[in-house]
Amino acid sequence: MILPRIFTAAFCLVLATASLAQKPKSDPAPLLPLNRFPRMVQEWMVGQVRAAEERGNARRAALKTRGDAEAYVQSVRERIRECFGPEPERTPLNARVTRVVERDAYNIEMVVFESRPGFLVTGNLYVPKGRPGKMPGVIGVCGHSTNGKAAEAYQAFSQGLARMGYVCLIIDPPGQGERFQYLNGFKSRFNPGTGEHIQAGNQQTLVGEFLGSWFAWDGIRALDYLLTRPEVDPAHVGVTGNSGGGTQTTWLCGVEPRWTMAAPACFVTTFRRNAENELPADTEQCPPRVLALELDHSDFLAAQAPKPTLILAQEKDYFDARGATEAHQRLKTLYTLLGQPDNTRLHIGGDYHGYSQVNREGMYRFFNLATGVSDAQAEPGLIYEKDETLWCFPEGQAGKASRTLFSFTEEKAARLAQERGPVEGAALQDAIRSVLNIPEAPGGAPDYRILRATGARQYPAKGYCAYAVETEPGIHALVTRLHDDTLTSRPPLGQKRAVLYLSHRSADEELRGEPLIQQLLTEEKGAAFYACDLRGIGDSQPDICGINQMLRPYGSDYFISAHSLMLDRPYLGQRVFDALRVIEWLADQGHEEIHLAGRGWGALAAVFAAVLEPRARQVTLKNGLSSYLEVARTEDYKWPYSMLPPNILAHFDLPDCHAALRDRSLRLLEPWGAADGMNP
């Protein structure tokens, strides 16, 4: 009796599944959007980050001699330069002091200089009074404070250093303090700090720029200015900053060899810890290809080994203190091989994120050991100035006196378009594969799962089947096939023509109301119809970085995009790869001709896949982006980071792809512009 019972149970399950799929449209039960693979993309990405860390750890574990260590330091310097790109030209600083405020033990000079022609940097120079001879100098870099250098913690360490005998120049980062890049009057149109950084930095990606390089160059030029001051001893120059300033300090250690000491605070951990902990970071905190080049936070500090380097962390910080400990252990091993084991130290305070007094005092003591300028162990008394006291400009903003990050991006985009000219044929295909870093597909069609029906779906057909097509290990594209015949377990073989629709946000939702789908079904009555969610869309939309964070500027789509660029696997390229593998899967079902369609974000994946895949005999794009040049030349663009391929405008643009598809009955329906990319 066992076999009949098993057969009966299985048969009942099939009938129940079929009945769920065939329920009448009057069913009152709410139909929630599908999300059957919510952790898929995150876990795949974490696996890639772990693999990169393991490769980096293997390099570090192979170091056995001083010569090995010296070669490693040289290697990280070279790899860091690959991430950050070549340095720009050193142009005149045109520095000026706009005002001076006198205090009992120091003066504060309001300094303005140009890190690039017309690009103004605002800073406060704290100069001790009554000190004979030359004094050590320190560049201070700010975290994500709206008021930049005027934030109390940053005033505090600048004053503290000055009272101990250091000349300290603290500068505003772009998007903060007096350097808002997106002004509405004297206020920012975006959130100062993170909002402005993401808006400017994401857009820069299109022209091959990295915002972290711009931050670092500001710091390098600040050092250039500091060394022009007669009070400063070039034999003792350091850098420190907290949070976003800790990022800048870390990067500056990697790209500038003149530092003699450094103390990054509340940033240094490991990329793996950040990825696992779902901790987003600004565009400037995520260097392109850094993980592919097997670099980690510790390597940027290793670039200046064995110079004195202090890692400052906090026990209650969201930057994982375990990662700070791991980074220090790596440095300790390297410094020991170089004969200076005591030149790197770790100080973990007991507070939350921030440059607390305890951590500032740890920095003072460490710098004092390196310079001998003071034996002070505690922070001296402080006077917190009002913001306006520290302004370089009367209204507290450089404003129209300075160029903006956007103006440089717009200018470079126009130049690249003029230099590039049209791209076509095999050259275009090669450019797409290179820019999106699309790997060669493995031989044979991908395997797939047959998913259980999820209830009555009011789709424009009598029934449907759902499949999870494994495009690469750990990743599935979710494909729904509509049908009007008997429910089947797998796609019926041998049907020559198929329509493949790539969704904008969710195949499930779009099957229940997108007019293009009904239009395609009407036009292609004899073809099989499939709707597809590529990775990270709809059925695999990540549920990470908090609740409902998918579309937020600092949210899950951005988080995966930033890590994908660090891995040198652009997120859009991953999705195009999925589309190509799904087409291979369709071919294995006997479909020789594919009508490839896409809407919105799906239209971008579709256009690139169509250029690469000759089986896409017809192409329909609705709400597709018109051109990336338009995005690069629009200040308030609204396309997500995941849709912005790195340095694409140096190689080709979307009109080149459209031209390549003219012989495949290309239709461009209701194209979207630069401001439409976040439309529903």
191-218 burial, b for 16+ CB within 10 Å, e for fewer?
bbbbbbbbbbbbbbbbbbbbbbbbbbbb
- Of 356, 377, 398, the residue at which a domain comes to its end is 377
Q: Are residues 529 and 627 in the same domain?
A: yes
| CATH number of 498's domain | 3.40.50.1820
Q: Are residues 283 and 371 in the same domain?
A: yes
pTM above 0.75, yes or no: yes
Q: Are residues 234 and 98 in the same domain?
A: yes
pLDDT tens figures, 347-384: 999 999 999 999 999 999 999 999 999 999 999 999 99
Q: How confident is the model at residue 490 (pLDDT cuts 50, 70, 90)?
A: confident
Q: Are residues 274 and 354 in the same domain?
A: yes
CA neighbours closer than 13 Å in the CB half-sphere of residue 509: 13
Output the CA torsion 413→416→420→422 (10° steps): 10
For residue 455, the model assigns a pLDDT of 75
What beta strand segments (E) does 212-303 contain? 232-242, 261-265
For residue 508, the model assigns a pLDDT of 96
Q: Can the peptide bond before residue 287 be classed as cis, meaning omega within 30 degrees of 0?
A: no
Residue 7 in any domain: the answer is no
Rounded Cα–Cα distance for residues 88 and 427 (Å): 29
For residue 485, the model assigns a pLDDT of 76
Q: Are residues 196 and 83 in the same domain?
A: yes
For residue 9, the model assigns a pLDDT of 33
Residue 146 in any domain: the answer is yes
Average pLDDT over residues 106-122: 98
Q: How confident is the model at residue 458 (pLDDT cuts 50, 70, 90)?
A: confident
The number of domains in the chain is: 2
Q: Are residues 446 and 323 in the same domain?
A: no
Q: How many angstroms separate the Cα of 610 from the Cα of each of 221, 440, 664?
A: 46, 16, 9
Rounded Cα–Cα distance for residues 138 and 232 (Å): 9
CA nearest to 556, candidates 567, 547, 566:
547
pLDDT tens figures, 56-82: 999 999 999 999 999 999 999 999 999
Residue 186 in any domain: the answer is yes
- Of 377, 406, 434, the residue at which a domain comes to its end is 377
Whether 100 has a pLDDT exceeding 80, the answer reads: yes
pLDDT tens figures, 572-584: 999 999 999 999 9
- Of 377, 397, 423, the residue at which a domain comes to its end is 377
> What domain range is 109 assigned to?
66-377
Quote the distance between the C-alpha of residue 191 and its chain's center: 17
Average pLDDT over residues 132-161: 97
Q: Are residues 631 and 514 in the same domain?
A: yes
Whether 22 has a pLDDT exceeding 60, the answer reads: no
Residue 36 in any domain: the answer is no
For residue 655, the model assigns a pLDDT of 98
Whether 30 has a pLDDT exceeding 80, the answer reads: no
Q: Are residues 354 and 485 in the same domain?
A: no
Q: In this prediction, what percent of the chain has a pLDDT beyond 70?
A: 95
Whether 10 has a pLDDT exceeding 70, the answer reads: no
DSSP string for residues in 358-369: HHHHHHHHHHHH
Task: Choose the weakest-confidence range: 7-16, 114-123, 351-360, 559-568.
Answer: 7-16
Rounded Cα–Cα distance for residues 111 and 226 (Å): 11
pLDDT tens figures, 497-548: 999 999 999 999 999 999 999 999 999 998 999 999 999 999 999 999 988 8
User: With contact defined as beta carbons under 8 Å apart, do 438 and 450 qualify?
Assistant: no
Q: How confident is the model at residue 18 (pLDDT cuts 50, 70, 90)?
A: very low
DSSP string for residues in 565-602: HHTT--HHHHHHHHHHHHHHHHHHTT--EEEEEEETHH
Helix (H, G, I), strand (E, B) or coil at 533: strand
For residue 17, the model assigns a pLDDT of 35
Average pLDDT over residues 618-630: 98
Average pLDDT over residues 400-417: 98
Residue 394 in any domain: the answer is no
Which residues, other chains included, contact 158 with Cβ-Cβ below 8 Å and sequence gap of 6+? 124, 126, 140, 149, 168, 170
Residue 674 in any domain: the answer is no
Residue 226 in any domain: the answer is yes
Residue 162 in any domain: the answer is yes
Average pLDDT, the chain: 94
In this predicted model, which residue has the larger pLDDT, 356 or 14? 356
pLDDT tens figures, 294-323: 999 999 999 999 999 999 999 999 999 999
Q: Are residues 418 and 372 in the same domain?
A: no
Q: How many angstroms separate the Cα of 39 from the Cα of each of 36, 384, 547?
A: 9, 47, 13
- φ/ψ region of 233 (left if φ > 0, alpha if ψ in -120 to 50, else beta) reads beta
Q: Are residues 318 and 439 in the same domain?
A: no
Q: Are residues 363 and 484 in the same domain?
A: no
Output the CA torsion 646→652→658→662 (10° steps): -140
DSSP string for residues in 126-173: EEESS--S-EEEEEEE--S-TTGGGSHHHHHHHHHHHHHT-EEEEEPP
pLDDT tens figures, 166-214: 999 999 999 999 999 999 988 999 989 999 999 999 999 999 999 999 9
Q: In this prediction, what percent of the chain has a pLDDT beyond 90?
A: 89
Token readout for 484 is 């009007």
Q: Are residues 419 and 327 in the same domain?
A: no
| Whole-angstrom Cα Rg for the chain | 28
